[in-house]
Amino acid sequence: MTLTSDNLEVCGRRIVNVEHLFRQIFNSSVGHEPFNCNITNMYLTKERRVGLISIFHLKCKMCGLEQTLETDVLDRSTKDMDVNLATTLAEVSTGIGYSQCEEMMAVLNVPFMAHRTYQRCHESVAEVICKTALQTIEEAGKEEAVLAIASGDVDEEGIPLLTVVTDGA
């Protein structure tokens, strides 16, 4: 069985959202007209990468129908992070950067995202981190104020007195 066209070579590994991939496979395994062919009658015509997400273009040998399979959800309107954003967040969280992650992916034989794609993801992740940090600080301040009032730590105007401890950094 030929999986790819003669001039296309897809090699290496990919990071795959298995739920998303299997949903696409099961949806495409239903026969399509006019010959009731399915995914087993298809071959790979090209791969397009969007960062760490691969979009595989398939074509049916029987009827010529074309369809795609994606390794992760490309829809930015979902609340879940795609693999590009998740990888960028992991890099920031662990203290590594683009070059270190690129090297790690090279060892794993996974094609990595372009630096421009990484920059866009990094900007999105940084925005979320800043918003989350600010929200957490505000919530902690409110909780400290409630605790200060409950323990009587207020000034003559009733404003809570909060002790702030820092590490000097």
111 preceded by cis ω (within 30°)? no
In this prediction the pTM is 0.76
Q: How far apart are CA 44 and CA 114, in angstroms?
A: 23
Residue-level pLDDT at 20: 93
pLDDT, position 6: 60
What value does the mean pLDDT take over residues 161-166?
82
pLDDT confidence of residue 2 = 47
Q: What is each CA distance from 30 to 38, 56, 65, 69, 131, in whole angstroms?
A: 6, 18, 13, 15, 44
Q: Which residues contact residue 17 at a Cβ distance below 8 angstroms, ignoring those fewer than 6 apart?
A: 71, 72, 73, 83
- Judged against a pLDDT cut of 90, whether residue 88 lies above it is answered with yes
Answer yes or no: is pLDDT of 162 > 90.
no
What confidence tier does 3 reach under pLDDT thresholds 50, 70, 90? low
